[in-house]
Structure 1
């Protein structure tokens, strides 16, 4: 899985960046990622034979995107450890 991030600053006086992530995932996983981003209310789109694109405007959205992608790419053992760590904190 490869992620290419293209960032454009819309207004030099505005610290907020408008970022469009071009997310390249296998065609089997693309629909699952798209659905999850829609559930998280992260604007995203993809055309036929095109990479998935997501508009990331906040740090929270960036973390959510990273989490969704980690669920697909991380080994099961790593995901279990992360979940156990979250349970200990909570």
Structure 2
């Protein structure tokens, strides 16, 4: 890591969801690892990866209401 990083961001994610997120990020070829303490570490190298990570977490952890709001905002912004 370089000195211009934003630092660690910590989210509390249930263990079963952590593995699902980990496997999806692996499919997207995003550098991540699960540690023996149960934590999931994800390296964000660019804006595209940040968007993909956010999207993955939202899809797996967001409530239906949050997902509908997010989608409606996207549609509004496109018009």
Normalised to the residue count of structure 2, the TM-score between the two structures is 0.70
1:4 is matched with which residue?
none
Q: Which has the higher helix share?
A: 2
1:48 is matched with which residue?
36
* CA displacement at 1:35 relative to structure 2: 0.5
Paired residues, number: 78
1:59 aligned residue (8, 28, 47): 47
Whether contact under 8 Å (1:71, 1:79) holds in the other structure is yes
Normalised to the residue count of structure 1, the TM-score between the two structures is 0.63
Q: Which has the higher strand share?
A: 1
Give the Cα separation in 2 of the matches to 1:19 and 1:61.
Answer: 16
Q: Give me the CA root mean square deviation.
A: 2.9
Aligned CA distance change for structure 1 residues 51 and 30 (closer, same or farther; 3 Å):
same
After the TM superposition, list the runs of 4 or more consecutive aligned residues in structure 1 that deviate by more than 6 angstroms: none
Q: Which has the larger radius of gyration?
A: 1
